[in-house]
Amino acid sequence: VLNRHIDAFGIGGKLGDVDAQVPVNTKPDATPVSLPNYAASPAKRQIIENQVNEWLAHEVIEESSSPWGFPVVVVFRNGK
């Protein structure tokens, strides 16, 4: 199983790659919701910017002009 899906596993700090699109189904008559960003300290803003840039570089996320939007929530794990 591992050999058939070796690309799904990241090695040496690189992200794994799975060729999949995940649909987000909404009702046809749903009104888009876009919430304003939460206030963030300069340190948190830098963390957010660094993570977004990394995800863009690795094509985990892509730029969008969608009318739907939700603010970023920074969550620290084990004090990090």
Of 68, 72, 79, 70, the residue nearest 49 (C-alpha): 72
Rounded to two decimals, the pTM is 0.69
Encoding tokens for residue 52? 């977004």
pLDDT score recorded for residue 63: 94
- pLDDT tens readout for residues 34-57: 999 999 999 999 999 999 999 899
Three-state DSSP class for residue 69: strand
* Euclidean distance between CA atoms 36 and 38, whole angstroms: 7
Annotated domain spans of the chain: 33-80
Encoding tokens for residue 3? 């050999």
CB 66 within 8 A of CB 26: no
pLDDT score recorded for residue 60: 85
